[in-house]
Amino acid sequence: MEPVFLPKTISLYKRIGYKRQQIQTDILSGIIVGILALPLAIAFAIASGVSPEKGLITAVVAGFLISLLGGSRVQIGGPTGAFVVIVVGIVGTYGIEGLIISTILAGIILVVFGLLRLGTLIKFIPLPLVVGFTSGIAVIIFTSQVNDFLGLDLEKLPSEFTGKWQLYFSSLEEINPYAVSIAVATVLIGVYSKRLTGKIPGAFISIILLTVVVQLFDLPVSTIESVFGIIPGTISFADFSSFDPGNIALYIQPALTIALLGAIESLLSAVVSDGMISSNHRSNTELIAQGIANIASGIFGGIPATGAIARTATNVKNGGRTPIAGMVHAVTLLLIMLFFGKYAAKIPLACLAGILVVVAYNMSEWRSFVSFLKQGMMLLFLLLHFC
């Protein structure tokens, strides 16, 4: 029987070792994925209702541990779009401290899932359920970004989906054309950059180019710095001084939600990457690693983390084949945070909104959704016809 916890970093070294040429390729792939993860980590944090550096802390701390201890050769971990809605809800109900406690508890639950060998249950989750879930998340992410995409600068948005859109439509006269231009340019760069370069991510090209444009021409648009302040160039422990252990039961429900979503998304990502490199991940090891990573993320004030399908696929496409790539990705982000955080604070929010709109489109799986919808309607028609 396969051991319940055996990281790929160890088994790969024992079985085939780490060849110099592959290490070099993994390092290059890790740097590229780290560059891609920079705007995504910041954007997911802001969309989740927390400060930008929390996304970076999560990508650095959790991303490194997921690769070091995980059961996949190529998994890239960090904050993802699927958690946005859940994190927003937890922050709104329990505050930042409640989110941190919930993240740590979710990590403990994930470790227990792995020790109980529940990783193999992923194969019983129906595909239509996964597609419907991710499509719904995509719609919510898109909706959350309309404010920054249009440059409306609305400070307080309703929590309800319909409430947001009603406010957007009532505020159309306040659209900032500069913000819209930046957001549209970001989307276009993200879509068409692959035709020009296959190595440098479009999201990174857009934040560099458009941030420079905003600063050179002093365009009247909101930036990370103008809304959230500077990005701290340090990583420190979270403050638990006001935490009351007697309230721990309040966080069980949000923690279980985080754990279940994290388990599903991380194992789905591992399955997808297995098909890309003809390998097999260790489900239970992956769950334990995800759990340890979320515990550490919470301790350092980060947000929930899991395997990121898009970043993992980028790693594979750039030649990453060992966990070294994922660890280099985290180190790359750490160096950027430590030495270039003050420049990252200049990124316009409209640019991040454009990046997340592209992410939402890629997450939507609308073709699969439409296909399943047609099949469901046909089945319903047949049932009504013969009943």
Summarize pLDDT for 74-105 with one digit per residue, the tens.
Answer: 999 999 988 988 999 999 999 999 999 999 99
Q: Which residue has the higher pLDDT, 268 or 17?
A: 268
Give pLDDT, residue 20.
86
Q: Which of 372, 370, 310 lies closest to 126, judged by CA?
A: 372
Q: How are the residues of the chain apportioned to helix, strand and coil, as percentages rounded to the nearest 5?
A: 75, 0, 25
pLDDT reading at 323 higher than 70:
yes
Mean pLDDT of the chain: 89
Confidence of residue 199 (pLDDT cuts 50, 70, 90): low
Question: Of residues 349 and 318, which shows the higher confidence score?
Answer: 349
Tokens of 164: 């947001």
The helix/strand/coil state of 231 is: coil
- Is 203:36 a contact under the CB 8 Å cutoff? yes
Put simply, whether the predicted model's pTM sits higher than 0.95 gets the answer no
Residue 11 backbone class (left: φ over 0; alpha: ψ -120 to 50; beta: rest) = alpha
The gap from C-alpha 358 to its chain's centroid, in whole angstroms, comes to: 13
Q: Per-residue pLDDT averaged across 169-191, rounded?
A: 94
* In the chain, domain spans: 8-229+247-386
**What pLDDT band is residue 201 in, cutting at 50, 70 and 90?**
confident
Q: Are 265 and 307 in contact (CB under 8 A)?
A: yes
Task: Provide the token pair at 378.
Answer: 């046909």
The share of the chain scoring above pLDDT 70, in percent, equals 98
User: In the predicted model, is pLDDT for residue 326 greater than 80?
Assistant: yes
pLDDT value at residue 197: 67
Mean pLDDT of 106-130: 86
* pLDDT tens per residue across span 208-261: 999 999 999 999 999 999 998 888 888 899 988 888 888 899 999 999 999 999
pLDDT band with cut points at 50, 70 and 90 for residue 371 = confident
| Residue 28, H or E segment | helix 20-47
Rg from Cα positions in the chain:
21
